[in-house]
């Protein structure tokens, strides 16, 4: 029987009445998680003077207030008591390789038995070590593109402990260049990246294609090899390898996709070409001269010095852990980097903290601070390079590098004053990431 319109409307009203109690019984929204963090001394804005005893209030992983003094926590709020500890923002390392060991002998001995699954497990371990060392954000500049993307996403989802990762995938390189892992023998060449990662390019058009391939595989930043490298066993020397036209094609294409670009660069000619092509960061900058530094100043190019890398590579070379072809390159880089970086610091180049960890061992990232101070930076300037400046270089000033309302609660603490002795940062006692405590040493 066909219902009249009034009866039909009455039926709908009855259904709504029955459904209403069920809707009213929906689970209540959880109460916000509030944490009161008490600091003995607080460097909330690196580059500015530190504060004394302070209270940082964190709600659901985000800083909601920063106040002077030790404020009592209200009922229902958790408290983190750090006593007289020196508290500062989580650190950022602009140049790491989470899929590399920092142990070349182990890597060579295990090369024939390691699968990608082994590498993923090791990378997860390295991510945890990096976070526990106080580095809550990293820029990973070379590894399996899908592997690092998966690690990045697992950490972001809270499934694994580790720093926030801004990933590059595989470094773009000309054939036979520093980023060409093939060429050692026919079998290794056939099995390596040209088939999987498509990172090799020759000529401007091909380099545009290589950038798009890395972005397709998940890259958030692009890295290319402007020059030769210390640890590559294919290309000799540290001179310029990619042409100016190829560099510009890489950089312009990456920028068109909203990606920043890092140039692996040692020789001054390669650095100058990359700077003139519009690169965002020069990583290593081992052989800088006044003309190149002036170009960096004019273009506003960041320098990521990675002073720890040549120190580690030279030690490995002297211990017989590196292939013979890499040894003279390690010696040349170690001999030149300090003078180059001292000159860059003196002339006022913008510096962002980076280590090239993966050459050195994971968790030792903070050893870079002492090398930066040795090269002429103050402890405050070195800390700023790993916080506020790194955030600026990343284009993430709203989420990285400060302890301020609206920022994710990425916070670390040490005993002693790193503004007096920067090596205090080599022994981090407390780490919080996004409001969750991941390390606290009594």
State how beta strands 221-225 and 164-167 pair: unpaired
Contacts of 288 (CB under 8 A, 6+ apart): 268, 271, 340, 341, 343, 344
CATH superfamily of 34-89+405-440: Urease, subunit C, domain 1 (2.30.40.10)
Whole-angstrom distance, CA of residue 73 vs CA of residue 427: 28
Q: CB–CB of 384/425 below 8 Å?
A: no
Average pLDDT over the chain, rounded to whole? 89
Residue 7 pLDDT more than 80? no
Write out pLDDT tens, residues 224-244: 999 887 777 665 677 789 999
For position 30, what pLDDT does the model report? 83
Residue 399 pLDDT more than 70? yes
For position 194, what pLDDT does the model report? 43
Tally the residues of the chain. Answer: 442
For position 2, what pLDDT does the model report? 45
For position 312, what pLDDT does the model report? 87
Write out pLDDT tens, residues 22-59: 445 667 788 899 999 999 999 999 999 999 999 999 99
Write out pLDDT tens, residues 403-428: 999 999 999 999 999 999 999 999 99
pLDDT tier at 356, thresholds 50, 70, 90: very high
For the record, the structure tokens of 304 come out as 């990521």
Higher per-residue pLDDT: 6 or 298: 298
Query: pTM of this prediction?
Result: 0.89
For position 171, what pLDDT does the model report? 94
Whole-angstrom distance, CA of residue 229 vs CA of residue 238: 6
For the record, the structure tokens of 389 come out as 């400046």
Q: How far is CA 314 from CA 153, 205, 342, 359, in A?
A: 35, 37, 19, 11
3-state secondary structure 347-363: HCCEECCCCCECCECCC
Q: Could you give the dihedral angle defined by the CA atoms of residues 155, 158, 162 and 163, in that order, rounded to the nearest 10 degrees?
A: 70
Q: What is the CA radius of gyration of the chain?
A: 25
Mean pLDDT within 185-208:
68
Helix (H) or strand (E) holding 128: helix 116-132
For position 228, what pLDDT does the model report? 81
Write out pLDDT tens, residues 57-106: 999 999 999 999 999 999 999 999 999 999 999 999 999 999 998 776 67
For position 294, what pLDDT does the model report? 98
For the record, the structure tokens of 51 come out as 């504060």
For position 1, what pLDDT does the model report? 39
Residue 36 DSSP class: E
For position 110, what pLDDT does the model report? 67
Phi, psi values for residue 317, rounded to 5°: -65, -45
| Domain residue ranges of the chain, discontinuous segments joined by + | 34-89+405-440, 91-394
For position 329, what pLDDT does the model report? 76
* Concatenated DSSP letters of 66-92: EEES-PPPPTT-EEEE-TT-EEEEPEE
Phi, psi values for residue 280, rounded to 5°: -85, -45
For position 234, what pLDDT does the model report? 62
Q: Kindly report the CA angle at 308 between 303 and 313, in degrees rounded to 5? A: 120
Q: CB–CB of 38/82 below 8 Å?
A: yes
Weakest-pLDDT range from 1-5, 167-171, 338-342: 1-5
CATH superfamily of 91-394: Metal-dependent hydrolases (3.20.20.140)
Whole-angstrom distance, CA of residue 391 vs CA of residue 372: 18
Q: CB–CB of 423/401 below 8 Å?
A: no
Write out pLDDT tens, residues 99-155: 998 776 677 666 667 777 788 889 999 999 999 999 999 999 998 999 999 999 999
For position 238, what pLDDT does the model report? 78
Determine the straight-line distance between the first and last CA of the chain, rounded to whole angstroms. 78
Whole-angstrom distance, CA of residue 62 vs CA of residue 411: 11
């Amino acid at each position: 029987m066909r219902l009249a319109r009034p009866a039909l409307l009455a039926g709908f009203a009855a259904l709504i009445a029955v459904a209403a109690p069920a809707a009213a019984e929906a689970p209540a929204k959880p109460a916000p998680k509030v944490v009161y963090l008490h600091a003995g001394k607080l460097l909330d804005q690196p580059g500015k003077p530190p504060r004394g005893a302070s209270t940082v209030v964190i709600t659901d992983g985000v800083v909601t207030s920063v106040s002077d003094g030790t404020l009592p926590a209200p009922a229902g709020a958790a408290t983190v008591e750090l006593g007289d500890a020196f508290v500062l923002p989580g650190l950022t390392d602009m140049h790491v390789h989470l899929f590399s060991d920092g142990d070349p002998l182990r890597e060579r001995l295990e090369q024939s038995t390691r699968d990608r699954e082994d590498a993923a497990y090791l990378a997860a371990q390295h991510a945890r070590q990096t976070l526990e060392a106080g580095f809550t954000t990293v820029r990973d500049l070379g590894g399996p593109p899908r592997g690092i993307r998966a690690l990045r996403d697992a950490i972001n989802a809270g499934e694994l402990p580790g720093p926030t990762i801004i990933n590059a995938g595989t470094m773009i390189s000309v054939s036979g260049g520093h980023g060409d892992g093939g060429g050692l023998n026919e079998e290794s060449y056939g099995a390596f990246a040209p088939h999987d990662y498509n990172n090799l390019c020759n000529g401007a058009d091909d380099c545009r294609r290589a950038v798009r391939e890395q972005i397709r595989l998940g890259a958030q930043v692009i890295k290319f090899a402007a020059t030769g490298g210390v640890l590559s066993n294919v290309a000799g020397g540290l001179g310029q390898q990619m042409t100016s036209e190829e560099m510009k094609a890489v950089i312009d294409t990456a920028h068109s996709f909203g990606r920043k670009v890092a140039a692996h660069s040692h020789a001054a000619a390669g650095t100058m070409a990359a700077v003139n092509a519009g690169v965002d960061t020069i990583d290593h900058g081992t052989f800088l001269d006044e003309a190149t530094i002036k170009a960096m100043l004019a273009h506003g190019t960041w320098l990521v010095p990675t002073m720890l890398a040549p120190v580690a590579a030279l030690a490995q070379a002297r211990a017989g852990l590196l292939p013979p072809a890499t040894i003279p390159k390690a010696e040349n880089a170690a001999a030149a980097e300090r003078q180059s970086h001292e000159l860059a610091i003196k002339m006022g180049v913008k510096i962002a903290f980076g280590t090239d960890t993966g050459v050195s061992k994971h968790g030792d990232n903070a050893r870079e601070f002492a090398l930066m101070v040795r090269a002429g930076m103050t402890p405050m300037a070195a800390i700023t390079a790993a916080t506020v400046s790194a955030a600026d270089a990343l284009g993430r000033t709203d989420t990285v590098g400060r302890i301020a309302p609206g920022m994710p609660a990425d916070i670390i603490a040490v005993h002693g004053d790193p503004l007096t002795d920067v090596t205090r940062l080599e022994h981090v006692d407390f780490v919080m990431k996004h409001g969750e405590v991941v390390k606290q040493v009594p």
